Amino acid sequence: MTTERDDIQHLAKFRREIRRFLQFSEQAAAATGLQPQQHQLLLQIAGAPNGTQVTIGYIAEVMVLRHHTVVELSKRCEAADLVRRTHDPDDRRCVVLELTAQGQRALHQLSDVHSQQLRELAPSLILALTQIRNSKP
């Protein structure tokens, strides 16, 4: 019972840390004039493993969203001149997503502050994870 309570406190602490990070991230995105999800889209486009074709479907998978949600998100980003949408000439069903110059600028700016923030938060996140991992299975 005592370990149960400890476990729950550890889980709660982990979620507080995550939430604080996400809140930071949302504010950083807003400060750059982006919606949080727009930032995530840019990040997943630019941060895909080398050689990946970045399509709607790929993004839907890695962001764990329905594809039509990604359609809408990518269109909002296109309208904001952050993302370019082109049809793959080899399979014209597929839409390939790339960053515009402005999208790259925004992402690099955001990535800098995120790296820095994560370097600060990493120790307590790792600690929380370690505590959870060491709880009785």
The residue ranges that bind DNA (CB under 7 A) are 35-38, 55-57, 60, 64-69, 71-76, 85, 90-95
Of 30 and 118, which has the nearer Cβ to its own copies?
A: 118
User: Using an 8 Å Cβ cutoff, are 7 and 132 in contact?
Assistant: yes
Task: Confirm if 102 and 82 have CB atoms less than 8 A apart.
Answer: yes
Closer CB to its own copies, 49 or 89, in the complex:
49
Of its own copies, DNA, none, which one does residue 72 interact with (CB within 5 to 8 Å by kind)?
A: DNA
105 binds, among its own copies, DNA, none (CB under 5 to 8 A by kind): none
Separation CA 34–CA 104 (nearest Å):
13
In this structure, how many other beta carbons lie within 10 angstroms of the beta carbon of residue 79?
Answer: 9
Residue appearing with tokens 């993302």: 83
Closest approach of Cβ 49 to its own copies, in Å? 7
Of 102 and 116, CB closest to its own copies: 116
Task: List the beta bridge partners of residue 83.
Answer: 99
Which tokens is 122 given? 């990493």
DSSP 74-108: HHHHHHTTSEEEEE-TTSTT-EEEEE-HHHHHHHH
Q: Which residue's CB is nearer to its own copies, number 95 or number 125? A: 125
Positions in the binding site for its own copies (CB under 8 A):
4, 7-16, 18-20, 22-23, 40, 43-44, 46-49, 62-64, 107-108, 111, 114-116, 118-119, 122, 125-126, 129-130, 132-133, 135, 137
